[in-house]
Amino acid sequence: MEEVRITNADLIVDEGEKVQYIVIKLGTEQFGIDIKYIDNIIRMQSITRVPHAAPYIKGVINVRGEVIPALNLRLKMNLEEVEDTKATRIIILKLEQYGLIGFIVDEVKEVVTLSEIQIEKVSQDGTQNSDDNQQFVFGVGKIDNQLISLLDMNAVCSEK
Amino acid sequence: MDVSQYLEIFLDETGEHLESLNTQILNLEQNPEDEATINEIFRAAHSLKGMAGTMGFKRMQNLTHDMENVFTEVRAGNMKVTSSLVDTLFQTLDALEEYTTNIRETSDEGTNDNQRLIDQLNEFLNSKGEPVPEKKEEKAGEDAGSKAPEGEAGAASSDEKFRNVPIGETEQSVLTAAIEEGKKIYGLTVYVDENCLLKAARAFLVYKAVEEKAEIILSNPTAQDIEDENFELDFSLIVISEAPLEEILEGARAVSEITKVVGAEFTAEDLEGISKEGEEKEAEEESAKKDAPKEEKKESSQETAAPAAVAAVPAQADHDKGTKNAPAKTGKSVVNRTIRVDIEKLDVLMNLVSELIIAKNSLVSATNNDGATGSEQIDYLESVTTSLHESVMKVRMVPIESVVSKFPRMIRDLQKKLGKKLELYMTGEETELDRTVVDEIGDPLMHLLRNSADHGIESAEVRAQRGKPEVGSIYLDAYQEGNTVIIEVRDDGNGIDVDAVKKKAIERGVVTPEQADSMAEKDVINLLFNAGFSTAKEITDVSGRGVGLDVVKSKIESLSGEVSVDSKYGEGSTWTIRLPLTLAIIQALMVVVGGEKYAISLASIQTIEDVAPEDIRLVENKEVMTLRGSVIPIIRLDKELDTVSTKKPDENLVVAIARKGEKLAGLVVDELIGQQEIVIKSLGKYINKTTIISGATVLGDGEIALIIDTNALI
């Protein structure tokens, strides 16, 4: 919706399939989410708590009259919870299995286009990445000397 | 032409006819001589055959044809309605149902010829008594055949409107050419039943039937007008054909809701007569008078009745008026004008109404903040949205009759299967529920009825011992109570054997023996709703596969309803299903707990009480209060909702008394906001149902309030 910068990634001419990713930040780490899942990105808004729900489910929000669950991506990824800032955003994803789900992230940075050769697949045994979250990461994208962990959102959602 | 666009209509109507046949045949078994029933059955069977035929479902048509033959004999009094005949007829209906299902799923009737049933039906036809069957049948056929044209001939000539059809030059030349080729020209006038809802579809089917045998040269009104339903109750066709007239007429008559089809052959002379445009009217007038003594009588009586001034009007004008008025009068059947609407369209409408209500609520809350500007207008808007909501809800309501009407038949089948004598009494079939609920309620009800028939009603010996009448009674009563609809399934059978249930529950490991001992009777009975629980001593194919009651329960709950059972051992059981009248929008009590807003369905709230803290007592470590003499448990919502009350312990408590069936409980809240109409939204698929929250609603200020499910709390 707002302040999503398009980088000049389109200038990179490369082989392989190109996919656009939204780059978000949790602390210092950057994560990429396939743009095909993105329904909407909104500013932080009031969240209604749902009693007895898992801790990472912060509650439900009202987006254009629809009631949508809001998850804290930090908690979901076993990171520490932080105070909301001006940059905090809720990314609304549309997943076939679960419908609309909102994810609270620290910041939404930009949209990048990655072609297949820019992505290093992460093997399942996790030799490349030792932290807990590697199960949610299906690959690491490299662009402008930055590393972006690409999230498998269905895996993020399915593991509870 | 493609018939697929009429498939849906066909399916709908077939369903209706089958349903009516089911009911009527059942009726016939009890009153084998009832003429009205027989006629009704005959009509339905005939329509079925016609419809199947025009849609090209030959197997279905064959089967209905034989069924119709049986009814012809029954109607003529040549055949007795026996129990075995009724059995075969029911099997036939089942087979037809199967065709319909196939057609619904694959647009094809399937390949089952049901030859066995056809043979069986024919056997009945052939063996029904001394008189040689073929002859009788022939006679009946003749009767019908000769009667129809006769009966029609009398009134027909004036009905032969096809004679008035103006024939243009091009058509004229085509027709003349055809006659020269030795083909025949026929004029047809088709009359559609005045109660017919889909005139255009009927006309289309007639078109199709006629086209099989003939080429349509001219239609009045035009085909386009007919398609747009731009005609009264009749239309005329001029066709070229090589087939005999009767065949074409037969085809057209086979279409249901066609009251009559008249036709005649045009000779070359006729054509010439018509072509002379100027003389046409006069000639037709003349011929009408000549051929139609009845019409004249009508006319003259009209003339005498009319005042002198009108009588002086030239006869022609009067005649025109007469013919114009006649169809108009019969055509306007104001009663029962219905229209089929796709349920999805209604859903859209419903959603829009929901949006409107949210918008209205936000206006209300906006003006509340600003002071009282525009409150009158808002009141007006409020009343409009409320009535709009009500009417949309009403549109979606259908009587449960469509579901329960199949039960008498089911009980009859069960009776044979179980070897018990059963009687089903139903009341309140006209009770209305939301269409979506009605569609879903059939299976649970069927389970309960089967359950009553199988487990409830005792065998004849036991009944005799207990001094009960030989025939076991099962009752199905439906009625509305406030905002809920209650459906009760009751029987005068065995009732629930609490000890047997306990034993079974322990055997299955559902409860420990100690638990069972301390359980109240009611709780034991509720164990029946556990998955995999069946107390039937032997498993029959009627019920007792261990699925059933738990499925009933979850189904009803998915419809936001509840089911409970009341039973007295040896006397019978009553299963009560409560369903909300509406699903999407409810009246709610808005409350505050721990600074958060919650909604509670107003339907479950009885009263609001102001209770002093010292009136709350502890019984077995549980908080209770006394309300008008009865002790009811207290539920502190702040604890249930995992939050902290903002009230001080010494302050008076606000207690909302909620009811679930016969149980009461006091819900402690911090503050009441008031009553509000809310739109129920689901929490989404991701958040698994947290038991005490049944949904959410968007408030006027855009905030979300969760809806508390009191049924889960109590």
What is the CATH number for A118?
A: 2.40.50.180
Residue A50 confidence (pLDDT) above 70: yes
Alpha-carbon dihedral sign for residues B510, B515, B516, B519: negative
Q: What is the pLDDT of residue A73?
A: 92
The answer to whether residue B571 scores a pLDDT higher than 50 is yes
- Cross-chain residue pair B690–A67, CB shorter than 8 Å: no
Contact B73, B128 (CB under 8 A): yes
Q: B596 and A50: CB-CB below 8 Å?
A: no
Considering the domain B146-313 in this protein, what is its CATH number? 3.30.70.1110
Nearest-by-CA chain B residue for A96? B685
Cross-chain residue pair B684–A49, CB shorter than 8 Å: no
pLDDT score recorded for residue A124 = 57
Specify the length of chain B in residues. Answer: 714
The model's confidence at residue B131, banded by pLDDT at 50, 70 and 90, is very low
Q: Do A99 and B684 touch (CB under 8 A)?
A: yes
Q: Which of B13, B22, B29, B46 is catalytic?
A: B46
Question: What pLDDT band is residue B392 in, cutting at 50, 70 and 90?
Answer: confident
Comparison of pLDDT for B405 and B166, the residue scoring more:
B405
Q: Are A33 and A21 in contact (CB under 8 A)?
A: yes
Ranges for all domains in chain B classified under CATH 3.30.70.1110: 146-313
Measured distance CA(B229)–CA(B196) in Å, rounded: 11
B358 and A CB contact within 8 Å: yes
Task: Sort strands B630-636 and B663-669 into parallel, antiparallel or unpaired.
Answer: parallel
- Tell me, what's the pLDDT at B669? 94
Does residue B451 have an active-site annotation? yes
Does 2.40.50.180 match the CATH number of domain B585-713? yes
Nearest to B468 by CA among B421, B501, B434: B421
pLDDT tens, A88-128? 999 999 988 888 899 999 999 999 998 888 888 876 554 44
Shortest distance, CA B692 to any CA of chain A (angstroms)? 9
Q: Give the Cβ contact number of residue B379 at 10 Å.
A: 11
- As to burial, measured by CB atoms within 10 angstroms (0-12 exposed, 13-18 middle, 19+ buried), residue A23 is buried
Contact A101 B686 (CB under 8 A): yes
Query: Could you tell me the pLDDT band of residue B654, with boundaries at 50, 70 and 90?
Result: very high
A60: which chain B residues are within 8 Å (Cβ-Cβ)? 683-684, 687, 696, 704, 706
**Range B562-589 average pLDDT:** 84
B136 has a pLDDT exceeding 50:
no
- Of the candidates B13, B68, B257, B458, the residue annotated as catalytic is B68
Quote the pLDDT of residue B327.
Answer: 38
Which chain B positions have a beta carbon within 8 Å of A48's beta carbon? 596, 696, 703-706
- Choose between A22 and B396: higher pLDDT: A22
- The first and second tokens of residue B9, run together, are 């209509």
Any idea which residue has 């109409």 for tokens? B677
pLDDT, tens digit (0-9, with 9 covering 90-100), for B366-389:
777 666 566 777 778 888 887 887
H or E element that contains B312: none
Across residues B517-539, what is the average pLDDT?
Answer: 70
Mean pLDDT confidence for B661-668: 87
Mean pLDDT, rounded, of chain B: 76
At residue B518, the pLDDT reads 82
Please give the share of chain B, as a percent, with pLDDT higher than 90.
9
Confidence band for B277, pLDDT divided at 50, 70 and 90: very low
Give the domain range for residue A129: 5-158
The Cα B428–Cα B233 span in angstroms is 36
The token pair at A90 is: 């809720």
In eight-state DSSP terms, residue A48 is: B
Give the residue from chain B lying closest to A56, CA to CA. Answer: B687
Long-range CB pairs of A126-132 (<8 Å, 24+ gap) are A132/A77, A132/A78
Among residues of chain B, what percentage have pLDDT more than 70?
80
Task: Check: pTM over 0.80? Answer yes or no.
Answer: no
CB pairs under 8 A between A and B: 69
Residue B325 known to be catalytic: no
Question: Stretch B184-196: mean pLDDT, rounded?
Answer: 79
Q: Which of A45, A47, A50, A154 to mutate to test the interface with B (most CBs of B within 10 A)?
A: A50
pLDDT above 70: residue B337 = no
In 3D space, the residue among B371, B360, B385, B352 whose CA is nearest the CA of residue B701 turns out to be B360
CB A98 to CB B685 under 8 A? yes
Fold type of domain B400-580: Heat Shock Protein 90 (3.30.565)
User: What CATH topology corresponds to B4-128?
Assistant: Four Helix Bundle (Hemerythrin (Met), subunit A) (1.20.120)
- Which range among B449-458, B536-545, B641-650 shows the weakest confidence by mean pLDDT? B536-545
Say how far apart CA B412 and CA B409 lie, in whole Å. 5
Instruction: Inspect the interface and report whether the beta carbons of A48 and B692 lie closer than 8 Å.
Output: no
Summarize pLDDT for B158-176 with one digit per residue, the tens: 677 777 777 777 777 777 7
Residue B279 one-letter amino acid: E
Strand partners, B622: B619
Check whether the bond before B221 is cis (ω within 30° of 0): yes
Higher confidence at residue B646 or residue B35?
Answer: B646
A53:B706 CB<8 A? no
SS3 A37: helix
Position B139 scores a pLDDT of 37
Active site residue B17: no
pLDDT of residue B690: 64
Distance from CA of B657 to the nearest CA of A (A): 22
Q: Count up the domains in chain A and report the number.
A: 1
**pLDDT tier for residue B478 given thresholds of 50, 70 and 90:** very high
- Identify the helix (H) or strand (E) that includes residue B660: strand B653-660
Query: What is the location of CATH 3.30.565.10 in chain B?
Result: 400-580
Mean pLDDT of all residues in B522-544:
63
Going by pLDDT thresholds of 50, 70 and 90, the confidence category of residue B2 is low
| Whether B596 contacts chain A with CB within 8 A | yes
Q: What whole-number distance in Å separates Cα of residue B679 and Cα of residue B586?
A: 7
Residue-wise pLDDT tens digits, B24-37 = 888 888 887 788 88
